[in-house]
Every structure is written in structure tokens, then in C-alpha cells.
């Protein structure tokens, strides 16, 4: 399971119709149902990997230490196996910034993940495009942001919990291998 962070696992801060990450650890709020969804996915044999663009570090709007504390808090309280973060902006032309699939490829290599047997849950076009680029089945949480929409194919869901329910009860025959299996 590849998961965007802000808007999928934790609440995004929406300003003028656009989503942003929380400003500090105190503002980090796990979305309703996310904790149980991650536990259920893990119990079913999936690895839960957050893949997140965090360009505010590069632009100086956020300190890397704050992002690291948020990630540590998420790992301590949720069934998260890995977190891949890109701190670049589009102008850096890196391979890791979504919509490019670099973070997914890195995690797949490091954790022995079969990308064709994987899913991605995101709330922005960049997330969906990154998952599509590596052959993941993509789930789109449509909050109606004032920005570009993803290109099909993707499946619309209301939340991470809804995506987990669809995966676990929807007849998907593919299952993610756990580390060491």
C-alpha cells in the first residue's frame, strides 16, 4: 500500500481550495478511520508505505526537523512500514517528486515490493500519476481541490478506510508480501 500523507493519512490544511501540510506536530491530526484501515491492511499482509512530497522544506516554509518529528509520530502511532519523502520543488527536476515514481521505486526495491500487486491511495493528481507510472491500482480521494484532476484510470473513494474496505472485501486477488516472507 502506497499512501500519500497529507489528505490520506492525516488531515491536510486547505487554504483557498488548495491542500497544505500541517504547520507543526501539534496540528498533525490522523484522519478518522486511518488507524484502523492501516492495521487491517497490515493484518492482511500489506506493507504500508507513505510517499509524500514535502517541498516546504526546500522553500524554507518548513524545517526538516519538524517533518521528521511528524513522521516519527506517525510511525509510533500507526502501522507504517516506511516513509519516503521528497523535499524538492518542481524546478529541481528530481526523480522522487510525484508525479514521478522515484519514491515508489525506491521503496519497492528496498522492501521487495511487487508494484503490479500494489495499490496507491492519494488525494491529488500527482499521487495518482505516480502510482499509475509503476502499474499500481490507484484510489483517488476527491476533496474537490481547486487544482488539476488526475487522468484515468483510478477509482474514487471517500477515504483511506474506504479504499482499505474495497481492497480487503472487493475481490482483489493480489496481496502484498510482508518483509521476510
Mean pLDDT, range 77-85, rounded to an integer: 98
31 vs 72: CA distance, rounded Å: 17
Please check whether residue 87 lies inside any domain of the structure.
yes
At 172 the pLDDT is 62
Please check whether residue 18 lies inside any domain of the structure.
no
At 170 the pLDDT is 73
At 139 the pLDDT is 98
Q: Which CATH number fits the domain that encloses residue 62?
A: 3.40.50.1000
62 vs 150: CA distance, rounded Å: 27
Residue 10 near residue 27 (C-beta atoms within 8 A): no
106 vs 89: CA distance, rounded Å: 19
Residues that are catalytic: 4, 6
Please check whether residue 15 lies inside any domain of the structure.
no
Please check whether residue 11 lies inside any domain of the structure.
no
Please check whether residue 131 lies inside any domain of the structure.
yes
Q: Write phi, then psi, for 14 (nearest 5 degrees).
A: -100, 120
Please check whether residue 61 lies inside any domain of the structure.
yes
Domain with 43 in it: 29-169
**pLDDT tops 80 at residue 180:** no
**pLDDT tops 90 at residue 179:** no
At 178 the pLDDT is 34
First CA to last CA distance, the chain = 16
Query: How many domains are there within the chain?
Result: 1
Amino acid at each position: 500500500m502506497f499512501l500519500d500523507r497529507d489528505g490520506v493519512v492525516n488531515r491536510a490544511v486547505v487554504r483557498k481550495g488548495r491542500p497544505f501540510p500541517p504547520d507543526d506536530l501539534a496540528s498533525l491530526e490522523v484522519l478518522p478511520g486511518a488507524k484502523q484501515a492501516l492495521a487491517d491492511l497490515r493484518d492482511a499482509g500489506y506493507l504500508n508505505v507513505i510517499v509524500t512530497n514535502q517541498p516546504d522544506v526546500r522553500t524554507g516554509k518548513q524545517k526538516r526537523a519538524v517533518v521528521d518529528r511528524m513522521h516519527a509520530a506517525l510511525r509510533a502511532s500507526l502501522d507504517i512500514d516506511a516513509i519516503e519523502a521528497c523535499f524538492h520543488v518542481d524546478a529541481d527536476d528530481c526523480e522522487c517528486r510525484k508525479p514521478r515514481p522515484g519514491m515508489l521505486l525506491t521503496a519497492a526495491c528496498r522492501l521487495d515490493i511487487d508494484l503490479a500487486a500494489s495499490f496507491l491511495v492519494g488525494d491529488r493528481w500527482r499521487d495518482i500519476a505516480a502510482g499509475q507510472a509503476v502499474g499500481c491500482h490507484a484510489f483517488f480521494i476527491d476533496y474537490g481541490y481547486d487544482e488539476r484532476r488526475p487522468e484515468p484510470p483510478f477509482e474514487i473513494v471517500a477515504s483511506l478506510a474506504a479504499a482499505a474496505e474495497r481492497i480487503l472485501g472487493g475481490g482483489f486477488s493480489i496481496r502484498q508480501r510482508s518483509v521476510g516472507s
